[in-house]
Amino acid sequence: MFRLRRRLPALTFTLVIFAALASLGGTAIAAPLKVTGAWVRAVDGMPMTAGYFSVENPNSVPDRLLSASATGAASVTLHQTKIVQGVAHMVEAQAGLVVPAHGRLVFAPGGNHLMIDGLKTGLKPGQTFSMVLKFEQGGLMTVSFSVVTSAPTSPSSMSGMKM
Ligand SMILES: [Cu+2]
């Protein structure tokens, strides 16, 4: 009887540890997504512009960008540019866009872009524009986009396209 009583606290302690590990299981593996090179095209007077960035997924499971929003605009939609018979078409990625495991999802002129509509103010170069990206696994992420007049990277071969 005495022995049994002494063993109980140790057993309880072990169970508590197991429970703690089990509850960590779902989230402990996920490292945060990394967003880089976030920019939006400056506009003056027009209510519409586009935003670009890259997001890196360090995890071994894919994630998915579900949607984006901004308090400074009426709507933000995920758009893809598709060339059909030599003509660029914009298509909304309604199911979101996959961020591959150990890979990246790139938004760049001529490809994926955040279509920003109903801007409440103009966007001047040097300002920043805040948007919230919503990921399936990574949750909500607030990103500060630099306002610039043109792509900060190498000139795009599709620079004639403004979206
Ligand atoms: Cu678009």
pLDDT score of 1: 52
Q: What is the mean pLDDT of residues 89-96?
A: 95
pLDDT score of 151: 85
Beta carbons of 92 and 76 less than 8 angstroms apart: no
The CA distance from 29 to 35, in Å, is 19
Q: What are the structural domains, with CATH classification, of the chain?
A: 34-148 (2.60.40.1890)
CA 23–ligand 1 middle distance (angstroms): 41
Residues in the chain: 163
- Scored b (16 or more CB within 10 A) or e, 79-101 reads bebeeeeeeeeeeeeeebbebee
* pTM (two decimals): 0.76
Q: What is the mean pLDDT of residues 75-95?
A: 94
Confidence of residue 4 (pLDDT cuts 50, 70, 90): low
How confident is the prediction for the chain on average, in pLDDT? 85
CA 103–ligand 1 middle distance (angstroms): 24
- Which helix (H) or strand (E) segment holds residue 34: the answer is strand 34-41
CA 155–ligand 1 middle distance (angstroms): 19
Confidence of residue 95 (pLDDT cuts 50, 70, 90): very high
* One-letter identity of residue 154: S
| Unique residue bearing structure tokens 């792509």 | 151
Flag whether pLDDT at 160 surpasses 50: no
pLDDT score of 142: 98
CA 162–ligand 1 middle distance (angstroms): 9
CA 46–ligand 1 middle distance (angstroms): 14
Confidence of residue 152 (pLDDT cuts 50, 70, 90): confident
